[in-house]
Chain A
Amino acid sequence: MDVQLSVNQDQHPITVDTRETLLDTLREQLDLTGAKKGCDHGQCGACTVLVDGRRVKSCLALTVTMDDREITTVEGLADGDTPHPLQAGFIEHDAFQCGYCTPGQLCSSVGMLAEFAAGWPSVVTPDVSAAPHLDEGEIRERMSGNLCRCGAYVNIVAAIGQAGR
């Protein structure tokens, strides 16, 4: 099936298998291997990308549904040679070790901060009618869809906390 994929503002007219996930299309067809395959079942978050600014697990999205959507992967976060503040913060706080969950953590935190800015509450927000406060408990709760087996969570929370303030 032919689709028009827009990734990091580049247009890709491509032919895909109807069974093909967005993750496999990015990695195997477009050589955008930043999005990682950790479980292929939406359980680990390593494949997280932004679709129209919202975080999406690309292993659970079929590419044929992505026509006319704007996709942002970790390769599209930086402004040219200048890393996104979250990318710089992850390096500064050593918020990764093996680096395999990192692209998903980064895309997820960009999406999470946008949700936060829009006033979305989480399960740990004490007062859902008021604007939530970006404390460590909120970050931990909202980032729990992204597993990190190296155990960099405390550094991830510190990096996001700094960038989010």
Chain B
Amino acid sequence: MTTVDMRYTGSALDRVEGLEKVTGRARYAFENFPADLVYAVPVQAAIARGEIRAVDVDAVLEHPGVIAAIWYGNAPRLVPSDNADLAVFQSRRVAYRGQYIAVVVAETYEEAKEAARLLRVEYAAEDHDVRLRADHPNMYRPEKVNPNYPTDTEHGDPDTALTVAPVLVDATYSTPAEHNNPMEPHATVAEWDGDALTLYDSTQGASGVRDTVAPLFGVPPANVRVISPHVGGGFGSKGGPSPYVIIAALAARHVGRPVKLAVTRQQMFAVTGYRTPTIQRVRLGANADGRLTAIVHDAFEQSSTITEFAEQTTTPTRIMYAAPHRRTTHRLVRLDVPTPSWMRAPGECPGMFALESAMDELAIACQIDPVELRIRNEPDADPESGLPFSSRNLVACLREGARRFGWADRDPAPGVRRRDRLLIGTGVAASTYPVYRRPSQATAQAHRDGRFTVRIAAADIGTGARTVLTQIAADTLRTSPDQVLVEIGDSALPAASLAGGSMGTASWGTAVVRACEALVEGLDRRDGDLPAAGMESSADTTEEIGAQRRLSRHAFGAQFAEVGVDTDTGETRVLRLLGVFAAGRIINPKTARSQFIGGMTMGLSMALFEESIMDLEFGDYLNRDLAQYHVAACADVRDIEALWVEEDDPHLNPMGTKGIGEIGIVGTAAAVANAVHHATGVRIRDLPIRLDKLMR
């Protein structure tokens, strides 16, 4: 495989859009103002299950400024699709409390908001069921888990192996529903011109939104343009169009004027996806020396009644440790709840909380250092598929982390280190994330003034994509980054995969490299003599990625946490967090460090704070804002550092990179929970680590 010469890749270039962002000039979705625009405010269902009998449209039309109120009874019909969540206003049925059931359009935001508040809706409510439990009678085995993994796997005879194992850990862990909560709420500005639709949307993938929205309105994808140059975070929740996008487009068509629609923070808790709560049973069988003989990991999760989303919670267990006998399973129950979706490292993040907590319990049971226990169970090849790893440097991360953190001579005894009112403890956990790559297209254009433009419908949701693609293009074009303009965030650009699955740099970078290589070749052929219009080359990586050799490709890492638990209040504070990662070549050490630290910060937040609480009586998430759903604030985050080990893996892509956007959150919560056990002797198997769980 050809690889890029490193000159600018590997350098700590400042974010290329940095100045726009710090001066307020970077324009996000809602900050677009087509002429003659109006405002739309959607209305949410006030029951968890049932039917809408009637909506009093006429009454709100009397209010000042109100142009339309749209619901099932008067909405235009959409073309049926297999995505029931996007079939807005196409049925009387209510599938969950908070579902969008109507929208009010008015001349100003204040008028639309007031009218939406006053809109009278009559329901025929039915009994609902919103409580996840592992023994729910409607638990079933989905056909596959996200995105396309086998639901269950089994090797050897795990049941017998567990029975005869000299050491057994059998524990049940649970993680709550969590909400992505990007700082920019989802928003769209929709404008029709005849049968052509323009959407200024906050999305992780402009090409995907175009391809999903167009058929719903019966227009070809070429008629839809999605523009999103800047996106205020997503963490999975902006991976595909949510119902609000369809409502904006539908409302704009209905009233014949451009429509602005912003999801409110409170509404986001029902209509933009979330991480499913999980209940996970982990059973580990081992010899007295800590070598695993059996691993069994069973997960129980929820989805809505209208869409099956089955999180791949136990998939990391399939590749982490060697053991001859093993099984992983997923079971799902369909409840009257909002549809869960992707949230940063779906699968790996909750799954590794359970597995890495169980490994800590095993280390204690075997009286082996938890770092050494993991090293002892390092597999030679992928333990389930038998495929070789393209590279695997978990052991190097554990050793380097242990050295930097000062792990040596750690006294394993729990509950014995006091500093003033604090009980102090340290913990470790491993991280992992798969290496994905999807086909994308790109163009590269040379201008006569020596500058270049590279175009690809990639998304920069804060990852630094625009910056690293600039570096990658500059090196391939044998120029400097200041000579390269990378245009992204527009579906009119060459189609690209979404910003998700930590695969942006790998997928888009490959397309950018190939387009730039073709351009360089063309320029060399002409000996640099450019036509007046410049010269352009394009690339499509479908074939290259399809021909990729079958290998087990994953990034790995190790996280070390030091916590202090207040003996009077039970409050846990993370005093120190260190992550060491092996994720291929790092293109930009500055933005990469931010990605790792950002993931670890969200992991710390998951460990201590985040929890969406289901209201069993009314059937929705109770804590629907940032005052009640706590995310880590500045004062919660003290000393976090992320480092990486050199990893030269020729089996990945032209850049030699693995994804880094999600691995930082994987394992953090387990490292913190393990440290809390070391500090206090109390094992928290149910996140978050609230003080009431520690006070006895």
Contacts and interface: CB of A to CB of B under 8 A. Distances in A.
Interface of A: 17, 19-20, 24, 27-28, 31-41, 43-44, 46, 73-75, 77-78, 83, 87, 90-92, 94, 96-103, 106, 136, 139-141, 143-157
A148 B110 CA distance: 28
Given A17-B108, A97-B464, A144-B635, A43 B598 contact: no
Contact of A91 (B14, B264, B635): B14
What 8 A-B pairs come out closest when comparing CB atoms?
A34-B24, A151-B601, A100-B232, A98-B462, A97-B462, A99-B21, A151-B598, A33-B31
Contacts of B122: none
A49 to B, nearest CB: 10
A99 B230 contact: yes
A140 B627 CA distance: 18
26 contacts: A24-B109, A32-B24, A36-B28, A37-B185, A39-B265, A40-B265, A44-B626, A74-B24, A83-B22, A94-B14, A94-B591, A97-B591, A98-B233, A99-B232, A100-B28, A100-B182, A100-B232, A100-B233, A106-B22, A140-B635, A141-B634, A150-B462, A151-B597, A151-B600, A154-B597, A155-B594
Greatest chain B CB density within 10 A among A20, A41, A139 is at: A41
Contacts of B639: 154
Interface string B299-338: 0000000000000000000000000000000000000000
Nearest to A38: B183
A91 B27 CA distance: 18
Greatest chain A CB density within 10 A among B17, B31, B33 is at: B31
B679 to A, nearest CB: 21
Given A33-B24, A153-B637, A101 B183 contact: yes
Interface string B612-640: 00000000000001110001111111111
B79 interface: no
Nearest to B461: A98
Interface of B: 14-15, 17-28, 30-31, 33, 108-111, 114, 181-185, 230-233, 235, 262, 264-265, 461-464, 590-591, 593-595, 597-602, 625-627, 631-640
A113 to B, nearest CB: 15
A78 B25 CA distance: 12
Contact of B183 (A34, A46, A83): A46
Contacts of B20: 99
B635 A78 contact: no
B626 A43 contact: yes
Contacts of B30: 27, 37
A102 B626 contact: no
Contact of B33 (A31, A106, A151): A31
B626 A147 contact: yes
A144 B633 contact: yes
A28 B111 CA distance: 14
B233 to A, nearest CB: 4
Contacts of B600: 151
Nearest to A142: B634
Contacts of A27: 30-31
Given A99-B21, A100-B184, A151-B602, A37 B634 contact: no
Given A20-B110, A36-B184, A91 B23 contact: no
